[in-house]
Amino acid sequence: MGTLRFNLLIPRTVPAGIPTRLFVGVTLDTVLSPFLRGPLEQRDGEFPADVYPIELPEGAGIAIPLPLVGDLEIYEQEGRIVIGCSALIAPAIQLRLGDYVTDKKQEGTRTWLYVRSLLPGESKTLDIAGMGALGIEAV
């Protein structure tokens, strides 16, 4: 269907003040660098975040390790985002995405949320079980 282009906003710290890059156990730059379409940006303000401009080719996926709840996966499938996550945090993510979720599948302890295509300029923030929030902005 094509390449997805979006900005992934990751808070610079988790609520305990620990830098997110340390919390996830890997350098996010390493995980995300194959999919960057431009340089990393930083946003300041009430919720400072690193902004990763992502280009996700058809069928590709990203897995962000979250030690307490398992990997958060983001895939491209037929022009839309598919989010794979632990069944523990899936209800919070689905609640936040609301009617953007068009389908949901459960496979063991993993839940797959199928998100309708975002229009350019649309954005959603995903609360990750008290660890902060990820933002997705369509470009």
- The better pLDDT of the pair 102, 65 is held by 102
Cβ(86)–Cβ(73) below 8 Å: no
Q: Report if pTM > 0.85.
A: no
For residues 123 and 6, the answer to whether their CB atoms sit within 8 Å is no
Q: What digits encode the pLDDT tens for the residues 73-98?
A: 999 888 888 999 999 888 888 888 88
Is the pLDDT higher at 85 or at 1? Answer: 85
Q: Tell me what pLDDT residue 113 has.
A: 93
The whole-number average pLDDT for the span 12-17 is 65
Q: Distance of CA 108 to CAs 4, 85, 99, Å? A: 28, 11, 24
| pLDDT given for residue 23 in this prediction | 58
Ranges 14-23, 48-57, 90-99: which has the least confidence: 14-23
For residue 129, pLDDT beyond 60? no
102 pLDDT higher than 90 = yes
User: Between the CA of residue 13 and those of 24, 71, 79, what are the distances in Å?
Assistant: 11, 18, 31
For residue 25, what pLDDT is reported? Answer: 60
